[in-house]
Amino acid sequence: MKQVTVYSTKNCPYCRMVKAFLDRNGVKFATIDVGEDVDAAKRMVALSGQRGVPVITVGDEVIVGFDSQRLTELFGTARAGDVYDVLISGAGPAGLTAAVYCARKLLKTAIISENIGGQALQSWAIENYMGYRMITGEDLMKKFEEQVRELNIHFELDSIVSITKNNGLFTVKTAGEWTFLAWSLILAQGNRPKNLGVAGEERFLGRGLSICSTCDGPLYRGKKVAVVGGGNSALQTAVEMSGIATSVSLIVRSSLRADEAYITMLRSKPGITVHMPAWITALQGDQFLTGITIRNDNGTEQTISIDGLFVEIGWRPNTGMLKDLVTLNERGEVAIDLNCHTNVPGIFAAGDVTSVKNKQIIIAAGEGAKAALEAHEYVMRNKKAE
């Protein structure tokens, strides 16, 4: 067996998922915390060309990020074509809650997801979830996951590439080239980060540009960073990074849209410079990002020297793999009724991927419970008819 090493940081949820995947497949590996070990971080960057985690080495091969398809090719094992009562797409607050409710109804349940925790993992601190005065997104999702792991639920870290329906059963195919069959589906795959829309964005991703501050933040200790966005996530990231980086520039296109609590915290941090209204027009650097150019309403441009840029400008529905399977609204969200039904019998949806207006963890969890109860009723009715 080739030597496997995982370069990670303490609070990186994707690093944790890599380790969970390797553990589940019986793969022995070494782990190096590059958030604590500066020399190891330099070695990782030299080895991978990345200033982001996780980075996995398998012998001489370097794998960047939680690449479930490649890891499956190397270490996964084929799954038999079992038929599930419910297959859940996504393992955020909605998907995990749905799984618990399905298991309690004794439904044969499977979850397929690229990650465990979804968008909630990006939260440095959550102060509005009942039962906790304050908890990090990662810690809250760990508690969700622990409860699911205690139940008889099949968990697959993979991404869905297609869904079809034939003879009353749904056929789900994954990037890892596995096929699953199910009587019903719950779509709970949440959102994906929006793109910045600036030339060179893809080239600098992982090389100074990050969409996961909880993952990559420790790698910028003692460096200059910028955060772009004006919502809760952007302000929270700016505040947290002010305790890690030497300077923080917050780039806000129009106005602050965050809760007053976050605005108050922002104003209490003298090390954060707010540029508002302003937007990024260019990224500078060769191998790594070294600066950004911003423009204000008057057309005046300014170049800011930075080592890292954290993009917190919002999210878009993760519905690309659905194609024409279900009806989407004008924002690309899955259209549902009050009971989480889509326009296709047997397909239900919950959480941030849906047309439900407010995107909150507690709302997503409640919607996941509703979707599971509706799926149970559907499965019992249709299996009896068979």
CA distance 19 to 375: 32
* Pairwise CA distance, residues 56 & 255, whole Å: 40
Q: CB 137: neighbour CB atoms within 10 A?
A: 23
Which residues are 310's β-sheet partners? 210, 227
Examine the residue annotation and report whether 215 is marked as an active-site residue of this protein. Answer: yes
**Type of residue at 284:** Q
The Cα–Cα gap between 311 and 204 comes to 12
Tally of CB atoms within 10 A around 67 = 15
Which residue in the list 12, 15, 102, 215 is annotated as catalytic?
A: 215
Write the DSSP assignment of 17-34 as a string of letters: HHHHHHHHTT---EEEET
- Active-site choice (158, 216, 307, 352): 216
Is residue 212 part of the annotated active site? The answer reads yes
Burial classification of residue 133, based on how many CB atoms lie within 10 Å of its CB (0-12 exposed, 13-18 middle, 19 or more buried): exposed
Q: Name the CA dihedral angle for 254, 259, 264, 267, rounded to a multiple of 10 degrees.
A: -20
Given 12, 102, 212, 340, the catalytic residue? 212
* Residues classed as catalytic: 212, 215-216
